Structure 1
Amino acid sequence: IAKIAVMPNTLEDTLTILPLLSHFDNVVAISMGELGSYTRVIASKFNTPFTFAVVNDNTAPGQIDIDTMKSLMNSDLINTDDLK
């Protein structure tokens, strides 16, 4: 499993990891910080092997607490069929 984490400068920078998720198996790819926090959730819609959520204290910028992550991952806000 390959893990790629990048720090974006713009919202457009966060989009660079999405092709990796859609074209490769066994890749965990995220954009960090507030700009990239959504990529931690959307990656699950691309069948990434895992993501990370915090229980107590954040250890990296843009991490999402576990309750919020569960809620977002179980929501149907994103239809990936429209992205393919």
Structure 2
Amino acid sequence: LAAEVGWSRRHLSEKFRTEVGLTPKVAARVLRFERARHLLSMPTRPGLAAVAVTCGYYDQAHFTREWTELAGCTPTRWIADELPSMQDGE
């Protein structure tokens, strides 16, 4: 992308951080996390492995590790705490 606009990678990263408030890498992590959160919130929620693949994580372990870093708990714990009615099949 930097080459397409004629900037160095560093300059693009600095511009991005100035405009968005996050580095491109952190922004990508947050967007991927939000996509996973959306999928896990759906009534027809896919399994964790399917969410990991759909959202571009290397594997379910990578997904769980990154989710835990960002959310402060595992995806399974988040589902139980945030979506209790969905756990009960309601």
Fold-level match, TM-score > 0.5?
no
TM-score by length of 2: 0.29
Q: More strand by proportion, 1 or 2?
A: 1
TM-score by length of 1: 0.31
Higher relative contact order (Cα pairs below 8 Å, separated by 6+ residues):
1
Rg larger for: 2
Q: More helix by proportion, 1 or 2?
A: 2
